[in-house]
């Protein structure tokens, strides 16, 4: 089967990939240079996740992330992409207070940041109603069920979800409700592979898994985790494709060594005056010194 191509990834394109059983690729990004690299490599979806808070801004969890921070970073990512779909993640409390405020916040991702859609966590009746309202407002919505990190306080930590019948059923029903409300795709996070497989075959919209096994329609990872830029604990579903943190540490240590030893900069890193202008700097220096001496004398008078 020929690989489906797109100049710009759209909702229809993603649904076509699912129909053709071709895997959808997604990664997070939070800034211009990383988004450019992902886009050039051909990733389908760039999610400006609220994981921003933990992996870039140094917060303990995603709860403190603000709309302003999300808009700022989404704009940088949008400036870098040519092909990928860019999705902005709605941060905690940006879609919890009223339907009207939530739609207005989501619309900021589209109007101010230039995103193609938004993602929001959860599938409670109010969230499902919000997905309906956003769809009505022509804002494509990606749902997110399973482990929803903004619920960390209620869940008691970042734990696998849906391992018991009642919770698995709630996740399954939530996924179906989000699809019915108009979500164009679903993130399935940290749930058993068996549950993800059945949800994926039950819904027409693409599922994008993270810690949800191989049978989702696509996969997403936090880019800092898979590039080896995250220090400390990593969940078992993360595969490190590079050790950029180690490489950066080596590069910086070498720079420090060379600066301290006077080995950097070398001749090829320097600018020079043309030979006929070689006396110029001495002339400027003498002029300034003369002015200074004159000024000192005048001050003494």
Please say which residue, 153 or 297, places its beta carbon nearer to ligand KIV: 153
Please say which residue, 187 or 278, places its beta carbon nearer to ligand KIV: 187
Three-state secondary structure string covering 145-212? EECCHHHHHHHCCCCCCCCCHHHHHHHHHHHHHHHHHCCCEEEEECCCHHHHHHHHHHCCCCEEEECC
Please say which residue, 118 or 181, places its beta carbon nearer to ligand KIV: 118
Q: Does 220 bind ligand KIV (CB under 6 A)?
A: yes
Q: Does 50 bind ligand KIV (CB under 6 A)?
A: yes
Q: Does 222 bind ligand KIV (CB under 6 A)?
A: yes
Neighbours of 237 (CB within 10 A): 16
Q: Which of 25, 28, 224, 230 binds ligand KIV (CB under 6 A)?
A: 28
**Stretch 69-98 residues interacting with ligand KIV (CB under 6 A):** 89
Report the alpha-carbon distance of residue 159 to residue 121 in Å, rounded.
Answer: 15
Phi, psi angle pair for 252, to nearest 5°? -65, -40
Q: Does 209 bind ligand KIV (CB under 6 A)?
A: no
Please say which residue, 102 or 224, places its beta carbon nearer to ligand KIV: 224
Least Å from the CB of residue 71 to ligand KIV: 15
Tokens encoding 180: 């019915």
Binding segment for ligand KIV (CB under 6 A), chosen from 47-55, 77-85, 99-107, 253-261, is 47-55
Q: Does 219 bind ligand KIV (CB under 6 A)?
A: no
Catalytic residue among 69, 121, 179, 189: 189
Using Cβ positions, the residue closest to ligand KIV within the complex turns out to be: 49
Least Å from the CB of residue 66 to ligand KIV: 14
Phi, psi angle pair for 187, to nearest 5°? -85, 130
Report the alpha-carbon distance of residue 85 to residue 141 in Å, rounded.
Answer: 12
Binding segment for ligand KIV (CB under 6 A), chosen from 42-50, 100-108, 132-140, 163-171, is 42-50
Least Å from the CB of residue 209 to ligand KIV: 9
Please say which residue, 54 or 177, places its beta carbon nearer to ligand KIV: 54
Please say which residue, 46 or 128, places its beta carbon nearer to ligand KIV: 46
The site for ligand KIV, by CB under 6 A, has a size of: 11
Q: Which of 87, 139, 177, 187 binds ligand KIV (CB under 6 A)?
A: 187
Q: Does 150 bind ligand KIV (CB under 6 A)?
A: no
Q: Is 194 a catalytic site residue?
A: no
Q: Does 49 bind ligand KIV (CB under 6 A)?
A: yes
Chain contacts with ligand KIV (rule: CB under 6 A): 28, 47, 49-51, 89, 187, 189, 210, 220, 222
Catalytic residue ranges: 189
């Amino acid at each position: 089967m020929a690989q489906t191509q797109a100049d710009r990834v759209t909702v229809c394109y993603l649904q076509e990939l699912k129909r053709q059983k071709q895997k959808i690729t997604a990664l997070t990004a939070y800034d211009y240079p990383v988004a450019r690299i992902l886009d050039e490599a051909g990733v389908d979806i760039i999610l400006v996740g609220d994981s921003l808070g933990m992996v870039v801004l140094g917060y303990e969890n995603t709860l403190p992330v603000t709309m302003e921070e999300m808009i700022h970073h989404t704009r940088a990512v949008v400036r870098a992409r040519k092909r990928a779909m860019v999705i902005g993640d709605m941060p905690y409390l940006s879609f919890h207070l009223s339907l009207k405020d939530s739609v207005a916040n989501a619309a900021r991702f589209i109007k101010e940041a230039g995103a193609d859609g938004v993602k929001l966590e959860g599938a409670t009746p109010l969230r499902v109603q919000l997905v309906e309202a956003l769809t009505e407002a022509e804002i494509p919505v990606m749902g997110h069920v399973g482990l929803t990190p903004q619920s960390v306080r209620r869940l008691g930590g970042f734990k696998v979800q849906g391992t018991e019948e009642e919770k698995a059923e709630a996740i399954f029903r939530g996924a179906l409700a989000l699809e019915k409300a108009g979500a164009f795709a679903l993130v399935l996070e940290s749930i058993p592979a068996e549950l993800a497989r059945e949800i994926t075959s039950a819904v027409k919209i693409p599922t994008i898994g993270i810690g949800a096994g191989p049978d989702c329609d696509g996969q997403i990872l936090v880019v800092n985790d898979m590039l080896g830029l995250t220090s400390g604990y990593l969940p078992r579903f993360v595969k490190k494709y590079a050790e950029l943190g180690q490489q950066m540490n080596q590069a910086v240590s070498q720079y420090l060594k060379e600066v301290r030893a006077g080995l950097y900069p070398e001749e090829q890193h320097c600018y020079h005056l043309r030979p006929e202008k070689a006396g110029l700097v001495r002339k400027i220096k003498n002029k300034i010194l003369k002015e200074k001496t004159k000024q000192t004398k005048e001050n003494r008078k």
